[in-house]
Amino acid sequence: MTSTLPNIMITEPEHNHWNQVIPVGKHAAVSQALQRAFGSLDLDDISPITGGMSTALVNKITVHGKHYVLRVEMQVSDLRDPQRQCVCLKAAAAAGIAPSVRYIDTDDAISIVDFIDHTPIGQGFTSQDQLYAALAAKIKATHALPLFPPLVDLMDGLEGLMVHFKSFEMLPPELTSEHFRLFRQVQAVYPRHQSDLVSSHNDLNPGNVLYRDGRIWIIDWEVAFANDRYADLAIANLFFGAAEHGEDVLLRSYFDEELTEYHRARFFLMQQIIFMYYAMIFMHLVADARPEGTAVSTSMDTIRLHEFHAGLRDGLITMTAPESPLIYAKILLNEMLPQMQSARFQEALAIVAAGPH
């Protein structure tokens, strides 16, 4: 799973000729896509959609006054597999969870879907409880789709990221040793390699959860695959700031009357997994962008998670700023440590170790 955080912007190009916006190597494939989707190569407009962290080339295009999203995957890999993305996107669109698909070609790694002209999701609900209930309903609908293709066991993938992070030697070991010591307890008890997997989006941040006319739409199915059901719930909790009360609404709305202490414990441990996962992802981004031999700040003094997300929402912080990935990774580490030092953590470990009843 890679993160695409919510500061998405649409920028106007200097021209409206798509063949000057799209790389030359993709001209033939995009020509075919436009011809098959619209019967014409003429666009009213094309505007790059920027600000996310995907490697895909994403543009808002306008054809006969209607808006669409043209997505061209630039780096095909196991993670960014057009075949898997196609299965997931089509299933979600057919269920009315994702926008309608107008064209998709897995060989060329190109798709065209409806553009959702959305408003800030927080403005669509009269209360946070209403928002969390709506998010839970959309997550539940996604999980009810025919099972998506597999990719990787979440814990296996995370453990690989943790090993690589330690090899980077970016931070003194004493700054993260307690995080890793406590997290080993999660690794010891959390179920893995399960047969009870669901179709998961795996990146439910506000940039991918859009609101329009009383309805939530989910976009960007790049990292969707069969996964633990608690991952989507914990990711939504992370990015939409459900405090303990909001967490209760989220879980009760998802599990209905069947919510148990085991559900709560699994969710709490998955929350720590997601904190660690995104911290490692962003540490990897820092390592990849850091010139060789360059030191990074070792201070762990940061603002709180909810303050960082508020800054993103208000445009005061952008994830494209060079310092943002490191700051965000540290914020996540700071957020998870007191949770893993709490009595609730030990209770959750014991409940999950005992298994569901």
Q: In what helix (H) or strand (E) does residue 61 lie, and over which residues does it extend?
A: strand 57-63
Question: What is the pLDDT at residue 10?
Answer: 44
Question: What is the pLDDT at residue 16?
Answer: 52
Question: What is the pLDDT at residue 75?
Answer: 85
Question: What is the pLDDT at residue 14?
Answer: 42
**What is the 8-class DSSP label of residue 119?**
B
Mean pLDDT by 10 residues, the chain (357 residues): 46 59 92 95 90 82 96 87 96 98 96 93 86 96 98 95 94 96 98 91 93 94 96 94 78 92 97 97 92 85 91 82 93 97 98 92
Question: What is the pLDDT at residue 15?
Answer: 41
Locus of tokens 């912080």: 317
Residue 218 bridge partners (DSSP): 209
Q: pTM score, two decimals?
A: 0.91
| Cα 129 to Cα 15, 265, 308, distances in angstroms | 44, 21, 21
One-letter amino acid identity for 209?
A: V
Question: What is the pLDDT at residue 80?
Answer: 85
Residue 225 bridge partners (DSSP): 200
Task: Go through the domains of the chain in sequence order and give each one's CATH number.
Answer: 9-114 (3.30.200.20), 121-354 (3.90.1200.10)
Question: CA torsion, points 144, 155, 195, 137, in degrees to nearest 10?
Answer: -20
Question: How far is it, in rounded angstroms, from Cα 176 to Cα 179?
Answer: 5
Extract the tokens encoding 172.
């003194």
Q: Which long-range contacts (CB under 8 A, 24 or more apart) does 139-142 make?
A: 139/201, 139/204, 139/232, 139/233, 139/236, 139/254, 140/253, 140/254, 141/95, 141/97, 142/92, 142/97, 142/198, 142/199, 142/200, 142/201, 142/218, 142/232
Question: What is the pLDDT at residue 194?
Answer: 81
Question: How far is it, in rounded angstroms, from Cα 198 to Cα 224?
Answer: 11
